Structure 1
């Protein structure tokens, strides 16, 4: 069998298994993988480079209990909210980990096979999957120290006795890159003596040992269960850290990429409409490697977009955002970007490495701290704390500028940020607290002791309903503005995630790009004033084809004069289309 030209599915799996498990029989392991996924070796291969999305795809990111109603399962409350407010303008619901957990708001999973009864049950997930595509988290790097697996590890019994990655207590881990300042190794008493388990994130989140094939088989069974329950989009949480080798940075190792290729092969043969998203909050050039050759992630998070866009809007200068956009490769068909401005986590700063200077990052941090932000740190190579992410709600983050502080342009700036995200190449993902413009939750920080809680508010459903119906609230204004934006977007072929994109050069204060539909019929010029001052634009600077009729989709204004001088108000945006 040639690694370069394998034929059967079993042979193709063996190609990926051999470098991961050189001491095992790859054919036997391939068969075990097929059995775990309940796949036939003759399963039909998927069509390569197929786009499993369109311009109608938009993701909403939410916790299962971001909205609660007394005496009602939160997943049912969530379904009702999405049905009432979002069913005509979103396609995909990313429900953050909805399993029993012990910490980190769900990312310390105790049982991967059960829905947290405080949220609902599998019937609720399947009901949601009938109306929306569901993205679920595959928390693959670690699990809870209160899980059955880890209880078994403590007792040296299976399953679990060898499920966790251990290192010598005196191991040199100085090269290890991780996003936390806590000690990496945790002492654990077992019948076989003291062991030191690896904890990339916290001592309650113990890293799994994928060098053990049994861990692989367990996760394949978990994936199969999720597919059976209606989950089709898989977010591989913290996957960059999943493989460890002492003496290395223990991040982005070749084995990690091989593991993703293996899992993708299994998933796409089991469910050809399934999508893999890798969550890798790392420098941009490293993040891009998770596309592989269109054989790893279908989608990668555009982690550089949130900090660069925030920097742009608080400085009124799009130079860095524009430079970054010009360096971003067009995604191959069958892959695309997942664009977001805010999420359940903070605004990551590692993705700015090589894109913003240290002074510019410090300016952004100090500005957002004036707006109520907290800052989380990691440990750098010298063992010193270094800012890792900024924790703040996006509504508060965009209340003003670095130069002038809070101002009257908060709503316009907020909508401009989302208009940029919605029109870029890729699929837009809106955090639920951005859709409803939730503010900083300091009380939740006090209750949890974690800075990330500032942007993880839990709404009472009736209070939220009142706020959204009250025309005097910013919540009402924002959700209606967002709905209109998405209703316009989903009808434009030029906003297909893989439609052509070219950056335009209209100065420091106008961020603009051209999108063209895959059939070349529709062009859209997306133009955004990212400053707090009016900006002029002569339409002659754009390539407006003279035989076409041009209309701004936002204002519905028609333009007959192709050399007209326009003035864009602060944070005004235009989507000029020829259709």
Structure 2
């Protein structure tokens, strides 16, 4: 089978984007190499991807080496674990970086084209693909200092001399946005003995790629095409906001970064229509949603980074006003885009997305309250020399808890928070530590030496299965409650990501959300975000409470502390 025919407008769009980014620096030879690679990939992809999204789409976030066994590699074990525990619950699996890596639990990639041999191989990924849809990380901003590409640069091999960003350390870089309290430039010695200072946004082991070099773009498009060939339905662009650097600017959200994302999108649309591009930008809300572009040319989804800390703020203050006010402002540029919603992830709960929504004093109060309950905090340096809390490191179970809580109290708040997640417009994603009811892993922090380890625990497969099977345990109860909620959500068109959404507070502690599908199905969700019983009037008489399984006969509804209801209009 030869290459599928190009739509002329697709080729023109890619060419125009190349012109806008590179002008004459992207030569005819570069273009020929790029389009040859695209043609080859188009000819090899035979499986059609789902077009768009619906209420059945719920994503499980996990590491490839999440579970261990003495006789099998982790990916093979995960396939078995998924088949037993998660296949009936989730539609997609987001496999966090599974390539060979040297630090940051996979986000310092040594070789984009291989599966880490200690985890498994591409056959294991293919086996998982037969059970579910897949989401891959495209770690596009940086790569490992232990990689072959970087070694080629250090050895001054032809073709690699511009792969990374050299910078005179005397350059004024004070305007650069810093996500970490670490040096921006790191010195390295080349084979001829000369020292070069290279751009390292995240750590000295994560060397930023130089997209101003056309060879870098070709190499990274080759990675993208490989992931499409291996079956990725969703592509997550990690730390993508930092991708283009221009000294004298903030070096985040630059115009050419947006153009590169549009280029990745155009290539994915040409090669594997239906592939969803998701941008990961842990930044204030206004900047985050800019990655949706005009609604048809950039990201299909953006991570809804403001949701996790706003839910925590609501629970801890027992006041949903700020959450409601923010949610009322949510707008999308088109029905070809939506939100990627989550509460917990492999990273901490980001605080930058709260800025501009909550006063700084409220953010600091939330940080202080969570620290008192055992959470850890990462900090960032500001251009004026001060520092600010950047993220809270904690499992979401413990983020919602007080240290003296009973399991019943923990689970009530945990259930309420996840019901909010599942009710919001967009595609929801649930971190594996959450559905397994995990608590803070302080031993992991001590062993590994960084705060994010608190929510990245790996498990012996037999031991965790035993715990999940232990009736009445916190893990078992969390798994069953959350699984039941997800399955229930997936059965109702009112929860389609694009269905109509309205939100209001009946009082500061009671949130009311209404979702209405195109076919008229309507579900009213009531959330008591407080530790006190609430009596409210809502127009839900004659409906049926899907969660608590009873008819609602009156306009007056009584909600127990932390209770949630999904009332379907009959």
| Interval containing the TM-score (normalised by the shorter chain) | over 0.9
Shift in alpha-carbon separation, 1:332–1:551, aligned structure 2, 3 A: same
Which SS does the other structure have where 2:480 is aligned? Answer: helix
| Counterpart position of 1:497 | 497
> Tell me, which stretches of 5 or more residues in structure 2 are unaligned?
1-6
Which SS does the other structure have where 1:376 is aligned? Answer: strand
Contact 1:198 1:206 in 2 (8 A): yes
Cα displacement (A) at 1:29: 4.4
Pair 1:83-2:76 in alignment? no
Shift in alpha-carbon separation, 1:256–1:202, aligned structure 2, 3 A: same
Contact 2:320 2:505 in 1 (8 A): no
**Deviation string for 1:240-263 (max 9, x for gaps)?**
000000000000000010000011
Shift in alpha-carbon separation, 1:453–1:159, aligned structure 2, 3 A: farther
| Counterpart position of 1:168 | 168
| Counterpart position of 2:229 | 228
Identify which range, 222-231 or 484-493, moves more after superposition.
222-231
Shift in alpha-carbon separation, 1:257–1:550, aligned structure 2, 3 A: same
| Counterpart position of 2:543 | 550
| Counterpart position of 1:279 | 280
Contact 1:144 1:204 in 2 (8 A): yes
Pair 1:194-2:195 in alignment? yes
| Counterpart position of 2:18 | 17
Pair 1:35-2:17 in alignment? no
Contact 2:314 2:323 in 1 (8 A): yes
**Deviation string for 1:147-176 (max 9, x for gaps)?**
001101111114532111121121111000
Pair 1:137-2:137 in alignment? yes
Matches within 5 A, 1:131-530: 131-190=131-190, 191=192, 193-294=194-295, 295-330=297-332, 332-400=334-402, 406=405, 409-519=409-519, 521-530=520-529
Distance 2:42 2:106 in 1: 35
**Deviation string for 1:42-98 (max 9, x for gaps)?**
999xx9xx9521100000101111221222111111111111111112110001000
Distance 2:187 2:167 in 1: 10
RMSD: 2.1
Distance 1:481 1:463 in 2: 21
Cα displacement (A) at 1:385: 2.6
Report the TM-score, using the length of structure 2 for normalisation: 0.94
Contact 1:51 1:334 in 2 (8 A): no
Contact 1:400 1:409 in 2 (8 A): no
Distance 1:443 1:12 in 2: 51
Report the TM-score, using the length of structure 1 for normalisation: 0.93
Matches within 5 A, 1:82-121: 82-121=82-121
| Counterpart position of 1:3 | none
Shift in alpha-carbon separation, 1:219–1:119, aligned structure 2, 3 A: same
Which SS does the other structure have where 1:21 is aligned? Answer: helix
Identify the match of residue 566 of structure 1 among 557, 560, 565.
557
| Counterpart position of 1:52 | 52
Which SS does the other structure have where 2:75 is aligned? Answer: helix
Which SS does the other structure have where 2:207 is aligned? Answer: strand
Distance 2:43 2:84 in 1: 43
> Tell me, which stretches of 5 or more residues in structure 1 are unaligned?
1-5
Contact 1:349 1:390 in 2 (8 A): yes
Cα displacement (A) at 1:26: 6.7
Cα displacement (A) at 1:41: 10
Distance 1:457 1:119 in 2: 16
Distance 1:296 1:184 in 2: 28
Contact 2:41 2:229 in 1 (8 A): no
Contact 1:149 1:161 in 2 (8 A): no
Distance 2:470 2:534 in 1: 33
**Deviation string for 1:260-303 (max 9, x for gaps)?**
00110111111112111100000000000010012111110000
Shift in alpha-carbon separation, 1:233–1:159, aligned structure 2, 3 A: farther
Contact 2:44 2:229 in 1 (8 A): no
Contact 1:8 1:42 in 2 (8 A): no
Contact 2:370 2:399 in 1 (8 A): yes
Distance 1:51 1:270 in 2: 14
Cα displacement (A) at 1:39: 5.3
Identify which range, 230-239 or 380-389, moves more after superposition.
380-389
